């Protein structure tokens, strides 16, 4: 089906309506490792679709900012690829991990080379690469998010960043292990500080859907200029499909059929290259850490629109 012929607004409203009972019941488990996430109302639901021609269709709480958490790993990967190119791949792999996103075991077995850029260890290496080429990893990621979303007031949520810092012992262990194994060039605490802030970026569904358009437009940004090359955009999409939804990426691809990246704040960004970018937010998570109703909403979106990779 062509994107133009679709009643997108009817589609997103219909999905919200059909999920309303489950939203009201607060399906799933909100992330509880920091107070700033534990206190989020589990009955929130937002969905936005941005089409490749720049139209945005939104429903529910799509204008409410939330903690994007690991969705930021798409931004950091894009930035590292843009500025460091393929050199990145000497230090991080491109395979699904088959383990939880914060697993330490595999990292030691595999000599400090993380399986992919979307598990925590991989994002720490990506952040280290950004520090190498751009120096200010907090600022540059924020600037990219603002530019892609067209939202100059985007900011890091200080309470979330502080919560990440105070509880991030496992991330700290990974960073220091990689330092020991020679795969972090900077002070691990500096890398961690930037990484914790990236996780603490607050955006809403509309802003994330707009930002995701860069991956639907073969790397072109809002002004038409190249943010990524078409090949790099393809590479990021491929990694989202195979590694973007933690250890449930196979099941997610089966159900939804779109490249996607989730975060423990309950957001999921999904892309159909050349057609659209979508963002859903529902804070309750499934056991793998993906938004339970978010994944269901995206499965409905691909089924009802007839649009997916497959």
E strand spans, 38-150: 46-51, 56-60, 66-67
Q: Which of 12, 40, 49, 73 is catalytic?
A: 73
245 touching ligand DON, by CB under 6 A? no
Q: Which of 70, 72, 302, 308 is catalytic?
A: 70
Q: Which of 125, 214, 264, 280 is catalytic?
A: 264
* Neighbour order of strands in the sheet with 155-156: 66-67, 201-203, 155-156
Residues 85-104 close enough to bind ligand DON by CB under 6 A? 101-102
Is residue 97 among the annotated active site residues? Answer: no
286 touching ligand DON, by CB under 6 A? no
Q: How far apart are CA 14 and CA 8, in angstroms?
A: 10
Is residue 74 among the annotated active site residues? Answer: no
- In the complex, the smallest distance separating the C-beta of residue 285 from ligand DON, rounded to whole angstroms, is 9
Residue 125 near residue 178, CB atoms below 8 Å:
yes
CA-based radius of gyration for the chain: 18
Q: Which residue has the tokens 């250890």?
A: 247
- In the complex, the smallest distance separating the C-beta of residue 144 from ligand DON, rounded to whole angstroms, is 18
- In the complex, the smallest distance separating the C-beta of residue 295 from ligand DON, rounded to whole angstroms, is 14
Q: Which residue has the tokens 């707009």?
A: 210
226 bridge partner residues? 220
x-or-dash pattern for ligand DON, window 145-164, by CB under 6 A? Answer: -------------------x
Indicate if the alpha-carbon torsion angle 262, 263, 267, 269 is positive or negative.
Answer: negative
- In the complex, the smallest distance separating the C-beta of residue 101 from ligand DON, rounded to whole angstroms, is 4
DSSP state of 220: B
Is residue 195 among the annotated active site residues? Answer: yes
User: Which of 97, 120, 140, 232 touches ligand DON (CB under 6 A)?
Assistant: 120
User: Which of 70, 103, 232, 302 touches ligand DON (CB under 6 A)?
Assistant: 70
Residues 3-62 close enough to bind ligand DON by CB under 6 A? none
x-or-dash pattern for ligand DON, window 202-241, by CB under 6 A? Answer: ----------------------------------------
- Give 225's contacts (C-beta < 8 A, 6+ positions apart): none
Q: How far is CA 216 from CA 50, 182, 184, 256, 303, in A?
A: 9, 36, 32, 16, 19
263 touching ligand DON, by CB under 6 A? yes
Q: Residue 120 or 305: which CB sits closer to ligand DON?
A: 120
- Site size toward ligand DON, by CB under 6 A: 10
Which of 178, 180, 167, 175 is closest to 191 using CA atoms?
Answer: 175
Is residue 264 among the annotated active site residues? Answer: yes
Largest CA distance in the chain: 55
Q: How many CA atoms lie within 13 A of 45 on its CB side?
A: 27
- The residues assigned a catalytic role are 70, 73, 195, 246, 264
Residues that bind ligand DON in the complex, under the rule CB under 6 A: 69-70, 101-102, 120, 164, 171, 199, 263-264
């Amino acid at each position: 089906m062509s994107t133009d012929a679709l009643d997108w607004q009817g589609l997103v409203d219909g999905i919200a309506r059909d999920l309303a009972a489950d939203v009201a019941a607060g399906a799933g488990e909100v992330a509880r490792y920091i107070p700033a996430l534990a206190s989020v109302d589990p009955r929130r639901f937002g969905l936005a679709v941005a089409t490749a021609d720049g139209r945005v269709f939104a429903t529910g709480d799509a204008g409410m900012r939330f903690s994007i958490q690991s969705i930021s790993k798409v931004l950091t990967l894009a930035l590292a690829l843009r500025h460091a190119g393929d050199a990145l791949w000497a230090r991080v792999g491109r395979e699904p991990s088959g383990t939880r996103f914060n697993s330490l075991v595999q990292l030691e077995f595999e000599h400090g080379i993380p399986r992919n850029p979307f598990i925590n260890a991989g994002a720490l290496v990506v952040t280290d690469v950004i520090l190498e080429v751009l120096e200010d990893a907090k600022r540059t990621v924020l600037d990219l998010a603002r530019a892609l979303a067209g939202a100059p007031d985007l900011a890091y949520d200080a309470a979330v960043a502080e919560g990440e810092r105070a509880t991030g012992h496992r991330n700290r262990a990974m960073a220091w292990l990689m330092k020991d194994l020679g795969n972090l060039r900077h002070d691990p605490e500096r890398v961690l500080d930037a990484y914790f802030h990236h996780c603490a970026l607050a955006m809403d569904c509309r802003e994330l859907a707009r930002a995701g358009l860069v991956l639907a437009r073969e790397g072109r940004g809002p002004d038409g200029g190249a943010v990524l090359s078409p090949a790099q955009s393809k590479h990021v999409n491929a990694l989202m499909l195979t590694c973007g939804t933690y250890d449930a990426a196979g099941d997610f691809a089966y159900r939804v059929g779109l490249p996607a990246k989730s975060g423990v704040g309950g957001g999921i960004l999904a892309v159909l290259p050349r057609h659209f970018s979508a963002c859903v937010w529902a804070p309750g998570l499934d056991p793998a850490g993906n938004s339970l109703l978010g994944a269901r909403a995206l499965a409905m979106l691909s089924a009802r629109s007839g649009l997916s990779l497959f």
